[in-house]
């Protein structure tokens, strides 16, 4: 097979660059971190994607975790088509909104009331606003390496060696905005406790991913999340569980309680939209009823609760049976075992897989990976060579070394067996010189 991308993808990339910023609508799609030109896809079905040059790839990105059931599940496509025939958008209530909300509440009873938005960014931004409105406090704690969307206040990283000082992680973000964000270290309870001893009375909320999924996959250490909850209660701080990635992916419902975290507010996205743009924030009734029109915390969106997203989400959640999660677990375990075994046989390549359910972090570094500093040790050049070697052989991995690899329920043992030779060749390529 010739190297990817093919000539049509390259031509489309040049054309896109004349109209779109960087030729893309989200930076990670640009392939800047792995080099080369992005692949343009024409269609997807089940476990596979097909690009504009007719090349077929095993999909291990799954639209960044949204496509839990695989690409274009027939029942979801049918639900979207039926909704579209009734009308694309009304800017008014539709039954699909509360019907999807009822499905979510049934699976996650701690979400007593919720509000749909159009993205995970909006969901977290809105949950933070609720926490500030309820507590009257201004500061928020996040963890280094955690990504909670591109709202100004959460695009913050730790200052050099100083956990309580944040700096903007993007041009255009005023230092005065991120000064309200305090950055702690994931899996470090002592550092969080010390930070809250100093700043606790000014902190409205701690925002945390139950499983970190934006610095690769970093599992919580035993006791870490329960300690976050206990420290928050001690200081009168609300906990926001960011489950935009983990919600309905690791289990039917939310994952934070099973991992030891007690949350006041929860954010969701990705899976609950079945591949359509969506986000949601919710939690305790008393907190959520401070949101307009019932309370003073304002949030609105013309396309929130979009009928097509509601239909896709409901059709997806209706498919999420225990057997689906067993299949996901089995396939993800097989993938992790295959990769680990091939890496061991490659010998010269340091490699670690961190896995929680159907989420995998692939690190070209010695493990375990416990926080952003460990994740940052991954050899990005090796990953880039690995990525391109798999891409050339029909496997689509995340085009970034610190993104999550996702398994879908459409992936079967035979798909992973077919991919094994590609992985074997990719480890050989990763051990060689620069691409």
Domain shared by 65 and 104, yes or no = no
Q: Enter the DSSP assignment of 219.
A: P
Q: Is 225 helix (H, G, I), strand (E, B) or coil?
A: helix
Ordered mean pLDDT values, 10 residues apiece, the chain (435 residues): 89 98 94 96 98 98 98 98 98 97 98 98 98 98 94 71 52 87 96 97 98 97 98 98 98 98 98 98 98 98 98 98 98 98 88 98 97 96 97 97 97 98 96 61
Residue 255 lies in a domain: yes
Residue 2 lies in a domain: no
Alpha helix (H) ranges present in 155-264? 175-178, 189-199, 224-234
Q: Catalytic site residue 396?
A: no
Domain shared by 182 and 307, yes or no = yes
Domain shared by 375 and 261, yes or no = no
pLDDT tens across 147-191, in order?
999 998 898 874 333 333 455 778 888 888 888 999 999 999 999
Residue 155 lies in a domain: yes
Domain shared by 124 and 270, yes or no = yes
What CATH number corresponds to the domain at position 420?
3.90.1150.10
pLDDT tens across 24-35, in order?
999 999 999 999
Contact 349, 427 (CB under 8 A): yes
Domain that holds residue 180: 74-317
The structure's pTM equals: 0.96
The side-by-side arrangement of strands in the sheet containing 279-283 is 113-117, 279-283, 265-269, 238-243, 203-208, 139-143, 181-184
Count: domains in the chain: 2
- Residue that is last in its domain, among 292, 317, 342: 317
Q: What's the token pair of residue 313?
A: 């989400």
Q: Catalytic site residue 242?
A: yes
Domain shared by 66 and 133, yes or no = no
Domain shared by 241 and 113, yes or no = yes
Domain shared by 240 and 291, yes or no = yes
Domain shared by 216 and 230, yes or no = yes
Q: Catalytic site residue 186?
A: no
Q: How far apart are CA 95 and CA 310, in angstroms?
A: 9
From the candidates 242, 372, 392, 415, which is the catalytic residue? 242
Q: What's the token pair of residue 392?
A: 């050339």
From the candidates 270, 281, 371, 392, which is the catalytic residue? 270
- Looking at residue 156, its pLDDT comes to 81
CB atoms within 10 A of CB 17: 14
- Residue that is last in its domain, among 317, 347, 363: 317
From the candidates 147, 186, 383, 396, which is the catalytic residue? 147
């Amino acid at each position: 097979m010739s190297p990817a991308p093919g000539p049509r993808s390259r031509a489309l990339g040049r054309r896109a660059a004349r109209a779109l910023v960087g030729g893309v609508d989200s930076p990670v799609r640009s392939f800047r971190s792995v080099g080369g030109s992005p692949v343009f896809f024409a269609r997807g079905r089940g476990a596979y994607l097909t690009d504009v040059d007719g090349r077929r790839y095993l999909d291990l990105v799954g639209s960044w975790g949204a496509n839990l059931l695989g690409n274009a599940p027939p029942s979801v496509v049918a639900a979207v088509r039926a909704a579209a025939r009734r009308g694309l958008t009304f800017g008014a209530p539709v039954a699909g909104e509360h019907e999807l909300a009822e499905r979510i509440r049934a699976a996650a009873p701690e979400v007593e009331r919720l509000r749909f938005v159009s993205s995970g960014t909006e969901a977290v931004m809105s949950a933070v606003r609720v926490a500030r409105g309820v507590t009257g406090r201004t500061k928020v704690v996040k963890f280094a390496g955690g990504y909670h969307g591109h709202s100004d206040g959460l695009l913050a990283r730790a200052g050099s060696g100083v956990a309580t000082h944040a700096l903007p992680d993007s041009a255009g973000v005023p230092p005065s905005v991120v000064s309200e964000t305090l950055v702690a270290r994931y899996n470090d309870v002592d550092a969080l406790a010390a930070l809250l001893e100093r700043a606790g009375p000014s902190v409205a909320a701690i925002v945390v991913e139950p499983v970190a999924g934006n610095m690769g996959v970093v599992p919580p250490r035993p006791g870490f999340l329960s300690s976050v909850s206990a420290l928050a209660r001690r200081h009168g701080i609300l906990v926001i569980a960011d489950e935009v990635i983990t919600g309905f992916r690791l289990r039917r419902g939310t994952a934070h309680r099973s991992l030891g975290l007690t949350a006041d507010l929860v954010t969701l996205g990705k899976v609950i939209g079945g591949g359509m743009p969506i986000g949601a924030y919710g939690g305790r009734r008393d907190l959520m009823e401070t949101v307009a029109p019932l309370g003073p915390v304002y949030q609105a969106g013309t396309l929130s609760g979009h009928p097509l997203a509601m239909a896709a989400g409901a059709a997806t959640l209706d498919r999420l049976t225990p057997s689906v999660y067993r299949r996901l677990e089995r396939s993800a375990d097989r993938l992790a075992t295959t990769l680990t075994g091939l890496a061991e046989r490659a010998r010269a390549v340091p490699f670690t897989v961190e896995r929680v359910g159907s989420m995998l972090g692939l690190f070209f570094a010695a493990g375990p990976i416990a926080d952003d500093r460990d994740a940052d040790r991954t050899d990005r050049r090796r990953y880039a060579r690995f990525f391109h070697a798999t891409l050339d052989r029909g496997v689509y991995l995340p085009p970034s070394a610190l993104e999550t690899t996702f398994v879908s329920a459409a992936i079967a043992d035979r798909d992973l067996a077919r991919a094994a030779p590609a992985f074997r060749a990719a480890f050989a390529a990763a051990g060689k010189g620069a691409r």
